[in-house]
């Protein structure tokens, strides 16, 4: 087949138009060979397949665009919601209100004081809540936030004396979490729960020895002899060490005073003098020391103590920004831990 014949055949195929099956050809006089019919059928099938594929891709592209628009609108409405807004509860029968206290106290993501205050006020306003259970699972955190929450719980309790407030410790209620727990009327825990840790901790690093070995000197200019106190690249003086110890001691005494105020005569600190040493206790040991009143879960307390087994959670739901911050923070912490483990 020469070049001219090939060109004519290609030109003939390109001019072919797809028509419906059964349509008569426009030029019946033009004879077609079996080879021409095969080429036409093949080209038609290829073009039809390409058309169907493009149509299918266009349909799915429109579907995913719609999904993206819905997600975008949901995010917009989520950010537009008033932060800290408490869900309105309309429980018409007698029930036990549940408020969750989880995570690090004062973690810059959750405002535990606002959560406790708003949730307790919503439970009081309902009128059908026979008691409030604070479900605690926290390792502690900021002493300032803990003290503020302690005072707010006690204030609301004084305003609504007919509705008791109980705290149920799940896996852990230690340090700042127990600071808040001391404000409850009674504290319950599992025998295997971790409770206590009534102490204060503060620390950092001292890189001065490493700097001396590396031949690096710190140039720090301050106005005030203790302005650079706590700087890891500056040696700590004995006077500054005393300041730190005094400060931690004062915070510790506030912690002890709150626990004694909340627990009263139930606390056996005379019999167990190390209760304020910062040590932790299991739930079984905590009951002996007087840190908790009895064993129980939110279900057993609601059923056997409150006599209202129906549980209604008054904790505000997280908005998208909080969930994103919590997820991002968890991923960063995991990455840092992985990196440090590789280094050490």
So which residues are the catalytic ones? Answer: 175, 227
CB count in 10 Å sphere of residue 16: 13
Token couple for 207 = 């890189």
Q: What sign does the CA torsion over 60, 66, 72, 77 have?
A: negative
Q: In a 3-state reduction of DSSP, which class is residue 318? A: coil
Please state, in angstroms and rounded to a whole number, the distance separating the CA atoms of residues 340 and 155: 44
DSSP conformation letters of 17-32: ----TTPPPS-TTS--
Of 130, 181, 118, the C-alpha closest to 154 is: 181
Q: What are phi and psi of 115, to 5 degrees?
A: -60, -50
Half-sphere exposure of 86 (CA within 13 A, CB side): 22
Q: Rounded to whole angstroms, how far apart are CA atoms 115 and 138?
A: 14
Six-digit token string for 30: 């033009």
Are 124 and 155 in contact, with CB atoms under 8 Å apart?
no
């Amino acid at each position: 087949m020469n070049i001219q014949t090939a060109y004519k055949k290609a030109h003939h195929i390109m001019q072919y138009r797809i028509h419906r099956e059964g349509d008569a050809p426009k030029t019946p006089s033009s004879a077609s060979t079996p080879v021409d019919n095969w080429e036409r059928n093949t080209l038609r099938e290829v073009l039809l397949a390409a058309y169907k594929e493009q149509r299918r891709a266009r349909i799915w592209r429109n579907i995913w665009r719609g999904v993206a628009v819905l997600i975008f609108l949901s995010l917009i409405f989520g950010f537009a919601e008033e932060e800290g807004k408490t869900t309105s509860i309309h429980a018409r029968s007698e029930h036990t209100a549940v408020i969750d206290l989880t995570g690090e106290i004062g973690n810059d993501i959750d405002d535990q004081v606002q959560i406790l205050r708003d949730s307790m006020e919503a439970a009081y306003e309902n009128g059908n809540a026979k008691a409030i259970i604070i479900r605690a699972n926290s390792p502690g955190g900021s002493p300032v936030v803990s003290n503020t929450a302690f005072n707010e719980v006690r204030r609301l309790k004084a305003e609504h004396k007919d509705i008791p407030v109980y705290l149920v410790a799940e896996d852990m209620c230690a340090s700042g979490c127990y600071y808040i727990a001391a404000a409850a009327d009674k504290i319950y825990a599992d025998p295997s729960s971790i409770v206590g840790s009534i102490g204060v901790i503060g620390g950092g690093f001292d890189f001065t020895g490493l700097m001396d070995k590396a031949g690096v000197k710190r140039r720090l200019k301050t106005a005030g002899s203790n302005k650079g106190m706590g700087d890891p690249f500056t040696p700590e003086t004995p006077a500054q060490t005393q300041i730190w110890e005094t400060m931690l001691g004062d915070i510790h005494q506030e912690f002890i005073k709150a626990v004694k105020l909340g627990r009263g005569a139930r606390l056996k600190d005379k019999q167990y003098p190390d209760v304020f040493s910062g040590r932790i206790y299991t739930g079984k040991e905590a009951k002996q020391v007087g840190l908790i009143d009895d064993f129980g879960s939110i279900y057993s307390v609601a059923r056997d103590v409150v006599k209202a087994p129906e549980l209604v959670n008054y904790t505000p739901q997280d908005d998208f920004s909080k969930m994103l911050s919590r997820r991002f923070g968890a991923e960063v912490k995991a990455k840092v831990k992985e990196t440090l483990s590789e280094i050490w």
